[in-house]
Every structure is written in structure tokens, then in C-alpha cells.
Amino acid sequence: MKASDGAAAAARLMLLISAARPLRSLQTGLHLARDLGADIWVGASGDALSWLDRKAVEGVTGRPLVNDGEPLPAGSCTVCVAPATFNTLNKLASGVADTLVTAVAAEAIGAGQRVVVAPSMNSALMDHPVAPESRRRLVSYGVHLLWPETGNESIEDFGAWWEAVISECALA
């Protein structure tokens, strides 16, 4: 993609986060995206807000959280829901748009934008009977889904998790 002045346009990423363990290493994901030259917006679920260091996020992205009044990016961008809790995953699969995270992601799905969803949940929730149906639905909607092989209760370092997520966003 080229900007009108001939310079390469930066990839645009709307990162929507919910309150799951990988959020504790959010800075890793933000730095990876920034190092790829992405222009980044961040929005968070209500529960995730208490886990966030807003100043640190703004320090990497150069802008406040969307929750704090930063406008959503105009035009097309990659929308990434990471980490996506069990609740967020199932709401998206069912078309429920009752939070900033689910509303922005649902709108992006409807608009045909690139949407990446990276669930983060324990093994018991992965084994819940509704999980496979939500997985099937999201894939049928065209969502790029990074489905974990196992629950995340034994993961201590989420660096590799964030690398996979940012790679799937295809920012480079």
C-alpha cells in the first residue's frame, strides 16, 4: 500500500484487549507491532482497564486508549482481539456487541476488515461444549483465529504468544 506522496503507508492496527493473562505482557506485543512500523490504537474491556498501565501504552503507541477518548482509526485497519477471554470469544461468535471490544470487533467483521482473534483461556474453558461452536462460527465469518492447542494455565512467558499474534496480524 502506498500513500499519496509515494511513501509507504504504515500498517494500522486496532488492538482490542480483554482481561486474560497475556495482558500482563502487553508491552511485548505493542513493541513487536511498533517495530514492524504499525500505527497502533488500543481499546480495552472494562475488566482489562484495571490491569493496564495507561501511560506505558501511550508511551509505545503515541496516543491514549480509545477508552479515554482517542477516536477510532478512520478507514480500514487490522482489528486484533488479543487476548480474547472465553466470554469475549463467545460474544463475538454470537454477534453480541455490548462492550467497546465486542462492538468494534463485530463492526469490523461486518465490514469485511481483517480480524484476528487470539483466545486465552484455561483447559476447562477450552473443553467447554460451546467453545468448538464459537470457533466454527468465527472461522465461518472470515476471522483469523489463533486457536490454542492447550489451555494457558502453565504458560509463564507470553512472549512467543504475542509474536504469533502480531505475526498473524500481517502488519509487515
| Overall average pLDDT of the 87-106 stretch | 97
| Overall average pLDDT of the 110-116 stretch | 95
Residue 8 pLDDT more than 70? Answer: no
6 found inside a domain? no
Residue 98 pLDDT more than 90? Answer: yes
Q: Is 14 in a helix, a strand, or coil?
A: strand
159 found inside a domain? yes
Range of the domain at 46: 12-168
5 found inside a domain? no
Q: Render pLDDT for 11-66 as a digit per residue (tens, 0 to 9).
A: 999 999 999 999 999 999 999 999 999 999 999 999 999 999 999 999 999 999 99
97 found inside a domain? yes
Handedness of CA 50, 60, 15, 167 (dihedral sign): negative
94 found inside a domain? yes
| Overall average pLDDT of the 143-156 stretch | 84
C-alpha 12/C-alpha 33 separation (Å) is 10
7 found inside a domain? no
Which CATH number covers residue 47?
3.40.50.1950
58 found inside a domain? yes
| Overall average pLDDT of the 103-123 stretch | 95
Is the Cβ–Cβ distance between 2 and 33 less than 8 Å?
no
Number of domains, the chain: 1
For 140, counting Cβ atoms within 10 Å of its Cβ (0-12 exposed, 13-18 middle, 19+ buried), the class is exposed
- pTM to 2 decimal places: 0.92
3 found inside a domain? no
Helices (H), ranges, 22-129: 26-35, 46-49, 54-61, 86-94, 100-111, 123-126
C-alpha 139/C-alpha 141 separation (Å) is 5
